[in-house]
Structure 1
Amino acid sequence: MQIMSLPSVMVWPLLIVVAAGVYYIYNEIMRFMSKSLVRNKVVVITDAVSGVGTECAHLFHKGGARLILCGTSWDKLESLYDSLTNDANPRETFAPKLVILDFSDMDSMEEVVAEVVDCYGCVDVLICNSSVKMKAPVQSISLELDRNIMDINYFGPSTLAKGILPTMISRRCGHIILVNSIQGRLAIPFRSSYAASKHAAQAFFECLRAEVQEYGVIVSTVSHTYINASNPRSNEKSAPKQSSLAAFIASQLNHGVRPSVLANEIMQTVNRKRKEVVLAHPIPWVALHLRSLFPPFLFAVLASGVKDSVLAEQMQ
């Protein structure tokens, strides 16, 4: 009987292996196709010298896109330019164009928009990747700092999108992508200014999506947990131990995603024209649903987490 039942026992592992193989082949095919889909496209990447921006730059450059790389440091932009062009085939790739862009200087935005558009006369894909983070109690954050965070995380991307939008509407095509945090959907304690700016950006681009759909312009939001450029395990060792459910949720939110993973997700969003992407672990997903279905429970959990952290600090 045992010999006869052996094949049936092996069916599920075999199915899993086959399914994994099919999924791998599908992803490889889509990755290969994605490179050809962005060829000759004019792609603007803000904060191109960041971890995610650099990964996006390499990915889209290899795909043959006409890149316009934006950042606050000319030296870092030139260094990225060199890393992209040194080993590149000039027959298959285009040399990127560099533009100084600082969202904290809103007075310069009109000139920056004109410079970006003048590079190729149009923009096919705008990737709004810039962001500044802040972790502090509400009462310790000055109004000046609040405004600076709003400029970089909200007013900057929205102003740039508004400036480039007319060229997309006139051509009746284009794709605008907001690389946003999951805290644009779920606010947690001690991130008031950051979460507020991300909520504002999320709302703006969702409104924009509906308004420009008739012109053939696509607007996407990619919401992720924290960017983790280092080894996740090292972060887990150094994290303070807390017993509350809120601390567990916070640790999941801080677990982060790798820049390369997020860059691939952005590329897939462009190619598949997806409008909303949430890149998060199961716990943040559960927290998002709790926020919609059982908000009092989530609020209580988050509040208890704050009390636990304050008590832990007092005991040290």
Structure 2
Amino acid sequence: MIKKYKKFLLVFVGLLFCASVIYTGGFIWANTLENGTDGFYFTKNFLLENTKDRPRIILDGGSSTHHSINSLMIENKLNRITLNMGYNAGYPLDFRLHRLSHFISSNDIIVLPLEYPYYSRDEQAMISVISDELVSYGKFHFNALPLSKKLLVITRLNFNQATKPLKNVYRLAKHKLLGSDFNFDEKLEIIKLLESGERGDINYNALLQQGIDLHKIDHNNGATCQEYIAVDKINSDFIKNIELIKQIQTESGAKFIFTYPALAGKDCFDFSTTQGKKLKALIEQIKPLVESYGLLFVGNPFESYFPDNMVDTYWHIDEKARNIRTKRLIEELKKTGLFNTHK
């Protein structure tokens, strides 16, 4: 009886292991399939993948980068195609870095205007909305991760998130059997996108035409600027990310440049408060730390700060401030000597 029980247990465990392997492999494969979603997430990735043969400036970070860079202004002054990959600072930095590593070369210069929490937060604390995106329109980050990190992400998904890639399989089968079209596919021509001026920036004009008044939207939930930033000391995860950047820079030949994030709202840099003192201490640490690894860090935090130009949150500046900030960033980038500004 005991032998039969042991045999049953071994068979059960073996079947469970096989099922887990099949599910994991199927999940990873299904998440690479077209999921029929359009929008700027896909456009950004499409531009990144299809301009690899050209010298580029690639900006990456959270939504502060998305809102506060005029890429065409940089492109016209520094004579390089400039792409804005910024969106949602909830993505861990290493996810962004792994995605970049798949599509960059020695011709690229990567600019990181990282929000302050990137230096201080625990990267393992991935919020639920990011888990949702990793199996939908933010899947490009998941697909670029090494296997060990993919497995870690999968273990953290809830049931709904874990079954989302099944929709991709359904759409693929429907497309193959019935010839149905996806909403977003590779038929989009990169030349037309580039000629249209699409670089991944927020389109303020389109929002205005839609009647959206961003200044009436408040995403700060009653928090002060410093409470919203919620910084502390530099986290050990950021040290690991610097080492990853050094590895990617060595392997790809690309150059990485750090700069300060755009910030808006009154009293963000009031260093007399308890939280303000923490922010000041963090700012004083990050540049020397980054430079100690042989990486460039340009500008100063006050060049990117606009007390009266907040849009819907402290990390988002309006179009007027964006152009001022971009001009200042161009001058700082010129000082690095990495750009040929003579046509």
The two structures have a TM-score, normalised by structure 2, of 0.28
The two structures have a TM-score, normalised by structure 1, of 0.30
Between Structure 1 and Structure 2, the one with more strand by share is 1
- The structure showing larger relative contact order (alpha-carbon pairs under 8 Å, at least 6 residues apart) is 2
Between Structure 1 and Structure 2, the one with more helix by share is 1
